[in-house]
Amino acid sequence: MQQEMTLHAAYLHYWITGSEPEPGEVPRGAGQQRENGRAAVLEASEEHPGLVIRTGVQHGDIPALVRVHESEPELDEAGWDEIVEGDLHAESYVQLSNLDGQLQEFDLPWPGYGDESNWRVRLSVKGADDSLSVAYAEDGHELTEQHRIDMWPAPEGGLRWLKKDARGFRKPQ
DSSP collapsed to 3 states, 112-169 = CECCCCEEEEEEEEECHHHHHHHCCCCCCCCCCCEEEEEEEECCCCCCEEEECCCCCC
DSSP string, 29-90: ----B-TTSPBPSEEE-SSSSSEEEE-SSSEEEEEEEEEE-SSPPPP--TT-SEEEEEEEE-
Question: Per-residue pLDDT tens for 78-132?
Answer: 999 889 999 999 988 998 888 887 788 889 998 889 887 999 999 999 888 776 5
pLDDT at res. 66: 95
Q: How confident is the prediction for the chain on average, in pLDDT? A: 80
* Total Cβ atoms within 10 A of residue 173: 6
Q: How confident is the model at residue 164 (pLDDT cuts 50, 70, 90)?
A: confident
pLDDT at res. 171: 42
pLDDT at res. 12: 81
Asked if residues 90 and 119 have their Cβ atoms less than 8 Å apart, the reply is: yes
Amino acid type, 152: W
CA geometry: angle at 85 spanning 82 and 91, to 5°? 140
Evaluate if residue 58 carries a pLDDT over 70: yes
Distance CA 75, CA 92 (A): 25
Average pLDDT over residues 148-169: 85
pLDDT at res. 13: 83
This prediction has a pTM of 0.84
Q: How confident is the model at residue 50 (pLDDT cuts 50, 70, 90)?
A: confident
Evaluate if residue 41 carries a pLDDT over 90: no
Dihedral over Cα of 121, 127, 133, 134: its sign: negative
Average pLDDT over residues 49-56: 84
pLDDT at res. 21: 66
Distance CA 48, CA 46 (A): 6
Average pLDDT over residues 45-62: 80
